[in-house]
Amino acid sequence: MARRVVPTGPVSVSLALVRGPKRTTEPLTMDWTQQSNGVRRQGIACETMFPRTGPQKTDHEFCSESQSFPGHDPMYCIPLNTYRISLARVGGKGLNLTKLTQAGFPVPGGFIITTDGYEAFVKSAGITGWMATEADRIDMSDPDAVAALSERIRARFRTGTMTQELAAQIRAAYDDLGRPKVAVRSSATAEDLPGMSFAGQQDTFLNVLGKDALLTAVIDCFSSLWSARAISYRARNGIEQSEVSLAVIVQEMVQSEASGVLFTANPVTGRRTESVIDATFGLGEALVGGQVEPDHYVVETGTGRVLEEHVGAKATIIRGLAEGGTETIQEGDQPTRALTDAQIDMLVDLGRRVATLYAFPQDIEWTFADGDLLLLQARPITTLFPLPRMAEADHLRVFVSLGTVQGVLDPFTPLGQEMLKGLFAGLCRVFGRQATIFDQPIVHIAGARPWIEATSALRNPLGRRMFLNAFPLLDPGIAEAVRALANDSRLPMGTMRLSSLARFAPVMSRILRSLLFALLQPEAALRQAQASVEDLVTVIEKQVHLAGTLQQRLTLFEWLGHQVLFPRAFLPLAPLIAAGYASLSVLGRLTARLEADNPDLPPRLYMELTKSLDNNVTTDMDLELWQTARRIREDAQACAEFEAASPEDLARDFHSRKLPDPVQQALTDFLDRYGMRGLAEIDFGRPRWREQPLPIIRALQSYLAIADANLMPDTVFQRGQLAAQEAEAYLAEAAAKRWRSPAAGSLVRWLVRRVRTLAGFRESPKFLFIRLMDMVRTALLDSGQELAAAGVIQRADDLFFLRLEELKVLAMCTDGDWKKLVASRRAAHAGEMHRKPIPRLLLSDGTAIYAGLVNPSEADDRTIVGSGVSSGTVEGTVHVVFDPNHAQLQPGEILVCPGTDPSWTPLFLAAGGLVMEVGGMMTHGSVVAREYGIPAGVGVDRATERLQTGQQVRVDGSSGHIQLLG
């Protein structure tokens, strides 16, 4: 048996690099001692993560952890000024009110009936657990079923009886308050959590007077946890019905002169520098309930300057009655402002202080009574997209969504974020800046998603020009948004520094030499690049084999990002791709000239030249998957079993090696070669097809349903090759005629040869990234298996929910509750999966820019406008897909999705057309659609909302128009 040699110092290997006509060799060295020394230098220890003194109380943990003592009744009611309480006992609203009260804000007095009181009531009513069980039995997508369920549950609450202990404590707390008129509000335990807005899901009861009325209101408030709105909201957001509870807040009512809401950031634009106020006369319930047109103010928070003002009608007023309860008065239009300038200033100042307390913008309910400003509640503005952590700057900063460009809009795992940072640290090192995962300045994280800071490029004259020329090809929506910022005084143009040019010069010189070599000898350049790729793969395989411990595998992880992915995997290959697309760009301009002179020329003919390109690893993968389907089809019985079984059963049988032999072998052969791919594969922590083959199985079942020989992928590919040849001949002839010279035709053919040879290589750097990352990922999973077997973590892939520094600690010491930390990260990641939509662009003032292409002159009720990226017209049935792992297209359907990465392309072979919300001419989905001859429109604003599965549409891939039929 071979013995693994564990390295203890630097290991050097030679790696051939593509530099021009000759291959040069440079050593690629990794020091295995680097990481452990780094950990010791940073002074990281187990105690840093998990202090040995035991669990620490959180800031809001109730000081009396025990809910009851021998001989004492449970504590059901606690005053608002109670110190240290927990979310689990008082819910989100209650927790916020106690924090605001303790901080000295003007909150009306009151008390909280804790979740213990709710649980005591449902127990006495004999319905503990019954509600969630009933909820599990119905179809949550059926509104009538949800409404009927809600009525059944609330009826049980109405017939329930409150325990004597609970009722006595509520009466006593009400006595201590002075028996005033009170407001009774809900406070759910899942309420006002990050990314969750439960406003309006439960009921509020105002101006309640007397003990009996209070007890009735409390029971009604308890039951509102099971309103149809609340049940549906929890189901949509993946919150278990059995995991929620409710506290009730009882607060003294005041005679409100004016009430409303204050947002400490603009909830429409996201701008953190603006406060937004809506105000009306009387109680604020008319405003919150949508019964009144309020006054509306947008105020510049820093200066108090009113930027927008609209005086609403305020025709409906709700006031409290002396005997309890409320009345609604129709006053007619009220031209008088509800607030004075001084009151607006008071509100803005209050909002600024509350937002500072929470370190996040807040949605505040407020009221003025007897001239005094009172704060009724505050919660985070959950609709705001979070901003990256950043240093203060005296100018605007601009962040571009990397996910939009890559077609990956999901959140990244923590270790996936670290790998991206390492990749861009490697980019910095190429240009002479010594950066690490922890201090690289390019990638920032917000909403668990990566954002590229483009500020420096946009403040540089050359950088801005390059950005505005390149991004229309990647995402026209981003390009339009940036173009609109060109005259923004907050983004002043800088100057080019000679030192910056000097830093770029050596690298650019190498790139230009390789670019020239690729243009002059495309086939030779391609062969050298392919050889360098295999050399690099061999090097990494050797290093992975040498890495035998978690500590060494983490060293390998850092080394891969800092010294391999960008410097060794991308930079040598990029000039070939640039040569291919530079040639295509010239052809595009030549074609535009020819189209201007000859209206009979087919539109955007140069697009045909990119159909069925050679040397595209993604196309090769999809065609090999088609061949896998053909292998399955050769065995009639195995094919019939495969088609009849559910994809889930087939995936389970594949892992247990129970599939029919021909199917098992065919699928194994494919995954041996391409199993490192997967959905959102640029996220290091996401599962691969090897682990979750469900999407591949679904794709194979779709392929087996293709009966028309003209739709079979290999036939489509061959047809694309012929179309490209015809387009080349057509353009060459047209150019020779237009310029009256055979040389013009020869130039066209010269350019086409480079496009056909090199443009398909576009997919190779990313494919190489995924191959290399997969080797390190597999090694880390081995460590994860060892830790899971030892009980340190639950599953091997838990490692991907820890950050690099945490993993370094874990490699040295396994003490601590790592399972709890991972569970919290998984929960946060699952919550972020529900966040929609995702901005294309973020500005440092909080502005979030979402929109794609919108051209009102071209759109109408039946036409949706995008950017045409793959010529042709097709009619078909819409199939909206958010997750390719759980989608199966019927041949000819129109695939409508937010965006795509290579893991989506197996669906393309069955699709008749493509519509995407993001992307441009050169993004992945567009390139592959052209290669397969699929008409495609991209950058279509809110396509997945405006189109619905089952609709009939016509997609014009030349214009980008999607027309609704029928």
List the catalytic residues.
924
φ, ψ (nearest 5 deg) of residue 683: -85, 110
**Among candidate residues 249, 285, 212, 219, the one with its CA nearest the CA of residue 110:** 249
Residue type present at position 788: A
Cα angle, residue 742 at apex, residues 741 and 744 outer, rounded to 5°: 75
Q: Would the CA dihedral through 776, 782, 785, 789 be positive or negative?
A: negative
How far apart are alpha carbons 445 and 615 in whole angstroms?
34
How far apart are alpha carbons 691 and 24 in whole angstroms?
38
Helix (H) or strand (E) holding 649: helix 647-655
How far apart are alpha carbons 509 and 312 in whole angstroms?
64
Q: Which residues contact 596 (CB under 8 A, 6 or more apart)?
A: none
878 contacts 951 by C-beta, under 8 angstroms: yes
Q: The tokens of 762 are what?
A: 């576009």
Residue 25's DSSP bridge partners are 16
Query: b/e string for 392-420 if b means 16 or more Cβ within 10 A?
Result: eeeebbbbbbbbbbbbbbbbbbbbbbbbb
Cα angle, residue 355 at apex, residues 196 and 302 outer, rounded to 5°: 130
How far apart are alpha carbons 869 and 913 in whole angstroms?
11
Q: The tokens of 543 are what?
A: 């290093």
Length of the chain: 966
How far apart are alpha carbons 272 and 264 in whole angstroms?
7
How far apart are alpha carbons 364 and 377 in whole angstroms?
6
Residue type present at position 754: R
383 contacts 197 by C-beta, under 8 angstroms: yes
Angle 661-674/694-704 helices, nearest 10 degrees?
A: 120
Strand order in the sheet with 961-964: 863-865, 961-964, 952-956, 873-880, 894-897, 913-916, 936-938, 867-870
How far apart are alpha carbons 654 and 649 in whole angstroms?
9
Which of helix, strand or coil describes residue 744?
Answer: helix
Q: How far is CA 401 from CA 24, 482, 838, in A?
A: 36, 13, 8
How far apart are alpha carbons 14 and 339 in whole angstroms?
74
Residue 248's DSSP bridge partners are 113, 186
Cβ atoms < 10 Å from Cβ of 467: 20
Provide the pairing of β-strand 873-880 with 894-897: parallel
Q: The tokens of 44 are what?
A: 């990281």
CA–chain centroid gap for 289, Å, is 31
How far apart are alpha carbons 799 and 337 in whole angstroms?
57
Cis amide prior to 837 (ω within 30 degrees):
yes
The DSSP 8-state label assigned to residue 355 in this structure reads H
**Among candidate residues 684, 578, 717, 701, the one with its CA nearest the CA of residue 642:** 701
Residue 306's DSSP bridge partners are 299
Q: The tokens of 532 are what?
A: 């360098």
Q: Would the CA dihedral through 271, 275, 281, 287 be positive or negative?
A: positive
CA–chain centroid gap for 531, Å, is 36
How far apart are alpha carbons 965 and 874 in whole angstroms?
12
Q: The tokens of 671 are what?
A: 């995954």
